C-alpha cells in the first residue's frame, strides 16, 4: 500500500501532525517495512502540492496540522474501497487500515478483494514453458494456493472496533533498554 494513500486514509479521521500520522499508519496497518519519519513529511509535501491536503492550523504547542481537501477525501475513499490488484501484502495493509476506520469502506473493500482473488473461469495462463510444463504447473499451483489463502483470510477477519486518532503525544527516539544497568 502506498504511503500516500495510507496518509489520506488516516486523515479521514481529522487533522493530524506529521509524527502522529507516522505512528497511526504503523499502528493501523501493522506495516512490515520500516517507515522513516522523513518519508511522512516528503509525502505530505507532495500531497499538499497535488491539492489533496491543506494546512489545518497548529497544535497547542505549534506543530503544523494537515487536513484533507475535498479531492483528498475522494481519493482516500476510492483507495479504501477499490483495490486494483490482487497482491497479498497490499491487501493485508489496506484491509487492516480500512477496518481501523469508522464507516462502511471495509465491507466494500473486502467484497472487492474477494472478487479479485476468486478464480476466473475461462482464463488461460498458457505461456511458452521450456520445462515441458513442470514450471508452469508449479506456478499455477502456487497461484491457486495464494488465492485460496487470501480468500480464507478474508473470510476469517475478526471484528475490529474502529478507533479515533490518538491524541496523546508520542515520545520520539529510542526506547530505553530494559535492565541496561542491572543492580549490583
167-180 pLDDT, tens per residue?
A: 887 655 544 455 44
CATH class of 3-118+130-155: mainly alpha
- CA distances (Å), 31 to each of 11, 23, 84, 93, 137, in order? 18, 11, 19, 7, 32
Beta bridge partners of 67: 54
Domain boundaries, the chain: 3-118+130-155
30-77 pLDDT, tens per residue?
A: 887 789 999 999 999 999 999 999 999 999 999 999 999 999 999 999
Residues 6+ apart with CB under 8 A from 100: 27, 28, 160, 162, 163
Dist CA 99 CA 157 (whole Å): 10
pTM score: 0.83
Residues 6+ apart with CB under 8 A from 71: 51, 52
Q: How many CB atoms lie within 10 A of CB 113?
A: 20
Q: Which three cell numbers mark 12?
A: 479521514
Amino acid at each position: 500500500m502506498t504511503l500516500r494513500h495510507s496518509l489520506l486514509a488516516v486523515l479521514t479521521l481529522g487533522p493530524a501532525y506529521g509524527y502522529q500520522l507516522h505512528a497511526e499508519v504503523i499502528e493501523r496497518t501493522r506495516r512490515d517495512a520500516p517507515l522513516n519519519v522523513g518519508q511522512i513529511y516528503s509525502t505530505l509535501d507532495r500531497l499538499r502540492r497535488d491539492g489533496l491536503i491543506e494546512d489545518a492550523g497548529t497544535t497547542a504547542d505549534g506543530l503544523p496540522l494537515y487536513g484533507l481537501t475535498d479531492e483528498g477525501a475522494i481519493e482516500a475513499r476510492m483507495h479504501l474501497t477499490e483495490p486494483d490488484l490482487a497482491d497479498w501484502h497490499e491487501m493485508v495493509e489496506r484491509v487492516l487500515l480500512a477496518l481501523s476506520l469508522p464507516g462502511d469502506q471495509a465491507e466494500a473493500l473486502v467484497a472487492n478483494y474477494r472478487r479479485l482473488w476468486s478464480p476466473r473461469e475461462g482464463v488461460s495462463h498458457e505461456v511458452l514453458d521450456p520445462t515441458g510444463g513442470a514450471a508452469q504447473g508449479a506456478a499455477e499451483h502456487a497461484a491457486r494456493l495464494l488465492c485460496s489463502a487470501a480468500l480464507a483470510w478474508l473470510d476469517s477477519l475478526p471484528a475490529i472496533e474502529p478507533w479515533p486518532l490518538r491524541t496523546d503525544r508520542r515520545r520520539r527516539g529510542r526506547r530505553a533498554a530494559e535492565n541496561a544497568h542491572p543492580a549490583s
